[in-house]
Amino acid sequence: MKNNIVEYWDFRSSDYHTEYAHCIDEEMDVWKSIFSEILLTDKKIRALEVGTGPGILAISLAAMGHDVTGVDLSESMLGKADANAREKGVNISLLQGDAEKIPLKDGEYDFVFSKYLLWTLPQPDKFLDEHSRLLKDGGLMMIIDGLWFQNPDGTEKECSRFSRFDELYADVKPNLPLAKNNTPERITDLVQSHGFEVVSWRFLDDYFSFLERNDPPGHAAAYTQPPHMILAKKISQGR
Ligand SMILES: C[S@@+](CC[C@H](N)C(=O)[O-])C[C@H]1O[C@@H](n2cnc3c(N)ncnc32)[C@H](O)[C@@H]1O
């Protein structure tokens, strides 16, 4: 499965999110504002973005003065993240790795986050165990994802906008527990059963407005609803 997943994202790296390249500063402002809302600290933190793709979130957080690493399975995506970071004059560390077995040391991160990754993981349990391992006690996890591949009435979308996706994910998608019905309620339940205390969740209306304002034809309209953001804290061992 991972071979197909990596082949797809290597392929998509050439055009993924490039529709928004002309408004990268506006997008970075949206993420900076969200990070300011959730981090509530002026202290420099150590953060990790898993499934960083073109690195927009990692770059936004690093531009706020934090120490940020981005991990991705796809080398080509990491190349895009590196090019974007250079263009923005921001320093981030990049590392090839699997979200279900991240090649980094235990307990070194204050904040671990991902956007649009959970749905494509064959073993979300392992991903959450890795977050728990990498975070310091009391560290913060942020998961952003959405309801994909379904119509507003809950029925399944027959095919995606991308034929290569349909081809490479055909045998993979049925084995992804959160590709379907990826609701915030399901994620909060899952997170709670992995040693996290859910702090809050909300729809990212602010990010969705940004997508709509700069919408390439039909892109934001293809969302079933605005993406959701779940925040949870690793429960301290001593508690
Ligand atoms: C939908 S893209 C999201 C990229 C980025 N987070 C964003 O929102 O712009 C999914 C990303 O997750 C990466 N990915 C997929 N499976 C992964 C895994 N098991 N471990 C790490 N990265 C993975 C893909 O290579 C791709 O860059």
pLDDT of residue 70: 98
CB atoms within 10 A of CB 144: 19
100 near 123, Cβ under 8 Å? yes
pLDDT of residue 238: 61
143 lines ligand 1 (CB under 6 A): no
Q: Which residues contact 134 (CB under 8 A, 6 or more apart)?
A: 48, 102, 104, 105, 106, 107, 108, 109, 112
Cα-only R_g, the chain: 17
124 lines ligand 1 (CB under 6 A): no
pLDDT of residue 239: 55
pLDDT of residue 159: 67
- Residues of the chain whose pLDDT is less than 70? 159, 238-239
The domain ranges of the chain are 2-234
pLDDT of residue 68: 98
**Does residue 143 sit in helix, strand or coil?**
strand
> DSSP letter at 39?
H
77 lines ligand 1 (CB under 6 A): yes
122 near 175, Cβ under 8 Å? yes
- The CATH code of domain 2-234 reads 3.40.50.150
- What spacing in Å lies between the alpha carbon of 5 and ligand 1's midpoint? 9
5 lines ligand 1 (CB under 6 A): yes
pLDDT of residue 126: 98
Q: Quick one: residue 176, left, alpha or beta (phi over 0 = left, psi -120 to 50 = alpha)? A: beta
- What spacing in Å lies between the alpha carbon of 116 and ligand 1's midpoint? 7
Q: Which has the closest alpha carbon to 109: 142, 143, 65, 68?
A: 68
17 lines ligand 1 (CB under 6 A): yes
142 lines ligand 1 (CB under 6 A): no
